[in-house]
Amino acid sequence: MRRFSYIFILFAALLCGCNDSTIDPNGDEQIVVPTKPYIYLDAGVSTRAALVDGTVLKRNFRVYGFTYDFNNKWSTYRVTAKPNVFDNVPQLVTHSSGNYTYSPIKEWQGGKYTFFAYYPSSFLNSSGANVEGTPYITYAPDFNDTAEHRDVMTAMFEDTSLSSSPYVYFDFYHRLSAVDVVAMNFYEHSYDDPNADNTVINERITIEVVDLALQFKNVQYQEAKIYLDRRIPSECTPADAGANPNYQIISSDSGSGIYINYNEDSTLRPIIAQNNSSMIFIPQEKTDLEVTTTVKFKKRRPNGVYLTDENGNDVFTQTIDTPFNQPLKEGSRYYLQMTFTSAGVSISIITSDEWDDIKVDYEFE
């Protein structure tokens, strides 16, 4: 699992008209400690579950706050702890025009603090103000609605006080598993020139995906209570027997057929989904997860003419069953790699043990 390694920027936000700190964004950071002990909340890059163009994105998140005596540590205090810092639990922190803000802004009091943050901010199923112990959120993906598949990220800032810094920086971690589809959109095809002896013609056949649907078999968990302290394991609810969640990524019915690699180079590219979403899963412990991929595609020759099958159809259909042979780990990404050849389509699984949001072409929300 990868922890964000971005350089955190201290924003010069005018929070409720009470900000006494200044930062020069074009030069060295010049931090003036506030004359009033306000709690400033900041975060690294919030990432997306949608396929995007690499733009750095920041999004709203929510925060639980706990304050307690200096003689305590969170590890002992958390058993009976209840959120007691913000008026609204959990506190919404919004990002706009380069600044993170929340209202009403809180002042540091005496004692220690522990803060928990989660993303996205729109979760409705989260522990309330009267729940003792480490706060949590609950998550259950809707496999038939890829627009609702959202990354879940959490962060923790433990046993701090004003003497450390008025600024609370959250370093977010991915808490789910992600599966993406990558492919090349061409293959090289060679054939004998019927008009010339001993002459071979080489041509690049471009693939156009018309329809792509995936069905995952043997899913173990369908809902998770995710504690915001990563040291506490999530509590997962077993899926119904024989659960087979479906993902309809590209549908010809909605006219979203696309080129999966419009640059036509030799680089693997993500298939641009109808709803621009990756497939998000609660981490699965079982190793017998399988995916059935059904893909409909066209083969276009360099002269623009489409190849056809023996019945004259220019749309080819292939269904492939692929075992994962491994669990889906928290914070890991998996790539369903599609390889097109003149003989058909093959599928292989590529594993990335961390979501490296800097190196990939797409980020997570």
- Classify each residue of 208-221 as buried b or exposed e, where b means 16 or more C-beta atoms within 10 Å of its C-beta: bbbbbbbbbbbbbb
Residue 253's pLDDT band (cuts 50, 70, 90): low
User: Using one digit for the tens of pLDDT, what is the confidence trace for 275-316?
Assistant: 456 788 999 998 999 999 999 999 988 888 999 999 999 999
pTM across the whole model: 0.79
Residue 227's pLDDT band (cuts 50, 70, 90): very high
Residue 18's pLDDT band (cuts 50, 70, 90): very low
CA-CA distances (angstroms) from residue 356 to 29, 192, 205, 360, 363? Answer: 27, 45, 32, 7, 9
User: Using one digit for the tens of pLDDT, what is the confidence trace for 33-42?
Assistant: 444 588 999 8
Residue 229's pLDDT band (cuts 50, 70, 90): very high
Report the alpha-carbon distance of residue 305 to residue 302 in Å, rounded: 7
Residue 163's pLDDT band (cuts 50, 70, 90): confident
Element (DSSP H or E) covering residue 74: helix 74-77
